[in-house]
Chains A and B, each alone.
Chain A
Amino acid sequence: MDWIDTAYKALDKASRAGATYADARCQGYVYEHILVENGSLKEYSRTVRKGLGLRVLLDGSIGFASTNDLSASSIDEVVRYAISAAKSMEGSVELSAKNPLKARVRSSFSENPLDPTPEDKVSVVLSANRESMLDGVKSTSTRLGIQYDRRLIVSTDGCEVEVECFLVGLGHMSVAYEAGKLERVYDSRSRVSGWEFISDTDWCDYTRGISRLAVEAVKAPTPKAGVYRAVVDPQLIGLVIHEAFGHAVEGDLVASGSSILAGRLGEIVASPYVSIVDDGLIEGGYYIPYDDEGVEKKPIAIVDNGVLKGFLTHLASASKLKLDLTGNGRAQDFHSQPIVRQTNLYMKPGSHSFEELLEDIDEGIYLRGMGAGGGQVDPGTGAFTFSVGPSYMIRRGELAELTRGTVVSGLILETLKGVEAVGCDLSVETSVFGGCGKDGQMVRVGGGGPHVRVKSISVGGG
């Protein structure tokens, strides 16, 4: 029995058991991971997953159940669990009506990245790793990730959408040692693509660059703690607006009142140079033409010239907030219910060259994302913190000495209102090794922007 039959059978049983709405999501997933450490293969692993998740709405309550056993008896059990879960609550959930879309789409690629032989794949990682063993480097690890994700959603309101996506990438970490101190620099590059992204890139050059940075950074001082005028690079600006702003526009957090931006549509929340978009199909980002509720993901203006224009929604939050559907109902996998997630959130480019961004800064810092380790935000207060990679001091309008990675923090609205100028470049990235976590679910996202100058940001030092 194929997926579609299984999914429709689950829907049919749920309807007969009293569900006023139901959707069934099937997923097939393959992930290959090759890890080489210090010149030798440490791990070649492959994950294969298949399963079904069923969501039902019954008397205003949502019930959800999932299984990776697609036998008829297991599907019957899933329907029973989902219905009894819904019946265990007295809810008042409403779901916005959506268009009954029918679509089947796949991300573009030339060569299926699962096709090359294991030897060919290992060889790319081994050579990239061995090339990175420069003087001063104590430890290296290089990894290759290949993801294939196929998702189908069918729902009782007539939606049937299937999305297939390949994501590939290579990540590398170098640990440098100098005079009793260790410093690590990690970076990765990923693309929604076939094997061609791997075969067309010079990974040895890439890993050598990371090692050189680690060797320089371990000798560098930590920037003096304090508040700086700063130029933030695209990788980092993507992280900042994702963590510190993007989460606060997620409709479920807005609806529950736990976002600082609740009730502020139409207000000025950033400087007039700031425009932020959430786009499921931007070049360089992850591939999200439809969300996991079967809604088309269109580009959504979140901030337009400093004014808060939109929140991200899924079926439940759109209904609660009385807003349009934006196609942001996303689930980690078939075991998870869709919640409101960003897709590829990025800042739109402005008009300044990189040199113009630097030229007015007497003393400041050029904060860089390479080697950064992520970030976190408290959406209730708007406090954010994130790590930055090795960065450069700015003196008299020019780049000066390198400093070690550290942590920066601030309050998001203050930081975005302090954006003084926006660069004319644009870079958006995604990752096959990580993603965004929320409520225990991890999803792939993308993000980025141009280079941006901010009036003040707090640098942690150490």
Chain B
Amino acid sequence: MLGLEGIVARAEALGASEAEVYFRKVRVITVRFADRLESVTVNSTSGYGIRVALGRRVAVVGVEDVSREGLEDALKSAVAIARTTPEDEKWVSLPRSISTSSVEGCFCSKTAGISSEDAVEIALEAMQGVSEGSSISKPVRGGFEVAVREVAVANSYSQAVSRMETIADLYVTAKAEELSGSVTFTRFKICRSIDELNARALGVEAGSEAPRFLGAKRMEEGIAKIVLHPEVVCSMIDVMLSQPLSAEAVQKGRSPLAGRIGQSILSEKVTIVDEGAIGRWIGARSFDDEGIATRNNTLIDKGILRSFVYDTYTAYIDGRESTGNAWRSLSSTPRPSPNMLVLKPGDSSLDDMVSEVGEGYYIVSTIGEWLSNPISGLMQATVTHAYRIRGGELAEPVKGAVVTADFYEAFGRNLLLVGRDITPLRSSVAPAVALEGVRVSG
């Protein structure tokens, strides 16, 4: 098998003026369960993303056929495609040098060495936790996944860089049932190490929370004050800001934030940092998918837009350096996207926020927030689990309405409070927030 530098050299021998190889090898153990264990899966896969340029003609081929012939075919096909496609006038070059930043905590050797038996034990703990959470709750769906990933990048200008990372990812859906009806509730956690996971506690949480939503009534239509759970906020900032903050969207005329650097776009309570170099976050890594060292980059500082995120291609267009934000699949061109959007916490507790809202809703979970429109700024989600807030306290459970708001107003002048406790998801971290002026319909 050729090393990465050997593959680059082979692409150049076939006619490429520049070549880049992105290598990824992943082993994933997955345990799935419903009311009992369903299956254990072990997937091993490796592959190459090959980007070649012939002058300004560029092509990308992804190959997971890792035989010598498979790789040779991929290199030949990349060069053949590049030879016949039109020039990209904006192409300058691949990254001229690649390097890594020092990011601690992305890899846990204990997690990497887990066996399928260990993974089953963790899933069982989560399932048992559900029944411990409440005698009327049982697990109905869940999954535990442990991934060990090796990533390496080399190109015509630099030797290879490589890194290892681990991810432990658990979700558990509990169903609470009594004569009058039933309800499901899901909790999830994603982290770098099985030691941080605490599967039993997650199961207990799902099992004990589910019954609280039994008998939920429909929400009333109107304009309301709401508190959003940190996980809902994570999804919202991810959906509403990831694309607009990408230099690619800005350059292509698809970002409502184009031309607004230095301007106030959100409330001064909002500071958002792209923390690509904080190892415990799942989106963090020591170098991006082009081999550029990552960093922590303040994008929105007290409501003022400070920066977009760049890969090498978009950075050349704006005459600046990449911010280490290239993401790619094996067969796609790298594109800039935030590594890990972190909404910095404020100082309010959940009680403070519920009290501030007085009359309204505490929205615990939603579906369909990804249907929001980051271009127009229309934020929307369908509420599956929420509580009515009455007299500044949590009251009866409610569900089944669509909440909509203009994101820039909601997190602008309508932002009342920012919570102090943060929760991480896969690509964002956020605390709870309290908002006013949110439309509830349906």
Contacts and interface: CB of A to CB of B under 8 A. Distances in A.
Nearest to A126: B86
7 contacts: A48-B70, A51-B64, A62-B40, A85-B39, A88-B120, A458-B442, A460-B442
Given A69-B46, A92-B36, A31 B331 contact: yes
Contact of B183 (A86, A126, A380, A405): A380
Nearest to B32: A439
A202 B191 CA distance: 49
Interface of B: 29, 32, 34-47, 58-67, 70, 73-74, 77-78, 80-82, 84-86, 88-90, 115-117, 119-120, 140-141, 143, 173, 175, 182-184, 221, 252-254, 256, 330-333, 367-368, 370-371, 373, 375-376, 378, 380-382, 384, 399-402, 404, 406, 439, 441-442
A189 B77 CA distance: 27
Q: Which 7 A-B pairs have the closest CB atoms?
A: A458-B442, A256-B34, A385-B382, A380-B184, A85-B40, A385-B368, A47-B331
A266 to B, nearest CB: 21
Contacts of A335: 43, 45
A257 B41 contact: no
A377 B366 CA distance: 10
B402 A409 contact: yes
Given A38-B252, A47-B330, A48-B70, 13 more contacts: A45-B61, A46-B62, A46-B78, A47-B331, A66-B43, A81-B42, A88-B119, A139-B253, A175-B254, A175-B375, A184-B254, A380-B184, A458-B442
A381 interface: yes
Nearest to B119: A88
A383 B254 CA distance: 31
Interface stretch (A16-24, A116-124, A274-282, A293-301): A116-124
B20 to A, nearest CB: 13
B254 A139 contact: yes
A77 B404 CA distance: 51
Given A41-B85, A182-B256, A89 B120 contact: yes
B84 A119 contact: yes
Interface of A: 31, 33, 37-38, 40-51, 61-70, 74, 77-78, 81-82, 84-86, 88-93, 117-119, 122, 126, 138-139, 141, 175, 177, 181-184, 222, 225-227, 252, 255-258, 316, 335, 337, 373-378, 380-381, 383-387, 404-407, 409-411, 439-440, 458-462
Contacts of B252: 37-38, 139, 141
A375 B369 CA distance: 10
A170 to B, nearest CB: 17
Nearest to B145: A440
Contacts of A46: 59-62, 74, 77-78, 81, 331
Given A48-B65, A258-B184, A383-B382, A43 B333 contact: yes
A346 to B, nearest CB: 22
Nearest to A84: B116
B382 to A, nearest CB: 4
Contacts of A139: 252-254
Nearest to A67: B44
B214 to A, nearest CB: 12
A62 B64 contact: no
Contacts of A31: 331
A69 B42 contact: no
A126 B370 CA distance: 30
A316 B38 CA distance: 10
A387 to B, nearest CB: 4
A380 B174 CA distance: 11
A106 to B, nearest CB: 21
A181 B44 CA distance: 46
A439 B36 CA distance: 16
A44 B375 contact: no
A81 B116 contact: yes
Contact of A411 (B47, B89, B371, B400): B400
B36 A47 contact: no
B398 to A, nearest CB: 12
Contact of B368 (A92, A257, A375): A375
